[in-house]
C-alpha cells in the first residue's frame, strides 16, 4: 500500500515539475520567434494559446505583430512530457 502511495506521489511531482517549466521564447528565423514549451501532450490548445500570448508580447515589444507559421514536436520523454515548438513571424 505504501509503495503505491509513493508511486502516486512521484507521478504527481514529475507532472508538477513539467508544468512549472517556463515558456521559452527565442529568436529563430529572420524576424521570427520560436516558442518552446514542455507540455503533457502535443498538440494542446491551452499551450498553443500560451505560446500565442508569449509571441504577441515579444513581437509587441519589438514593434511588430506575431503571425503563426508552424508547430512541431521536438522531443518526447517519460519524465517531462513532450517538448513542442511554435514558430512565429514578427511582421513590422
> Which residues, at least 6 apart from 43, have a Cβ–Cβ distance to it below 8 Å?
71, 84
> Which residues, at least 6 apart from 54, have a Cβ–Cβ distance to it below 8 Å?
23, 25, 35
Taking the C-alpha atoms of residue 18 and residue 59, their distance in angstroms, rounded to an integer, is 26
Indicate the number of domains in the chain: 1
Is residue 67 within 8 Å of residue 89, measured between CB atoms? yes
Taking the C-alpha atoms of residue 55 and residue 67, their distance in angstroms, rounded to an integer, is 9
Q: Which residue has the cell 498538440?
A: 43
Q: What is the pLDDT of residues 43-87, one digit of tens each?
A: 889 999 999 999 999 999 988 899 999 999 999 998 888 999 999
Residue 21 banded pLDDT, cuts 50, 70, 90: low
Q: What is the pLDDT of residues 28-41, one digit of tens each?
A: 888 899 999 999 99
CATH number, residue 68: 3.30.980
pTM > 0.75: yes or no: no
| Residue ranges making up the domain that contains 47 | 2-91
Amino acid at each position: 500500500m505504501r509503495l503505491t502511495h509513493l508511486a502516486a506521489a512521484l507521478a504527481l511531482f514529475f507532472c508538477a515539475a513539467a508544468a512549472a517549466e517556463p515558456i521559452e521564447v527565442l529568436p529563430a528565423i529572420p524576424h521570427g520567434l520560436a516558442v518552446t514549451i514542455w507540455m503533457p501532450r502535443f498538440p494542446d490548445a491551452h499551450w498553443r494559446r500560451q505560446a500565442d500570448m508569449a509571441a504577441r508580447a515579444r513581437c509587441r515589444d519589438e514593434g511588430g505583430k506575431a503571425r503563426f507559421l508552424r508547430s512541431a514536436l521536438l522531443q518526447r520523454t517519460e519524465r517531462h512530457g513532450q517538448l513542442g515548438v511554435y514558430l512565429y513571424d514578427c511582421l513590422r
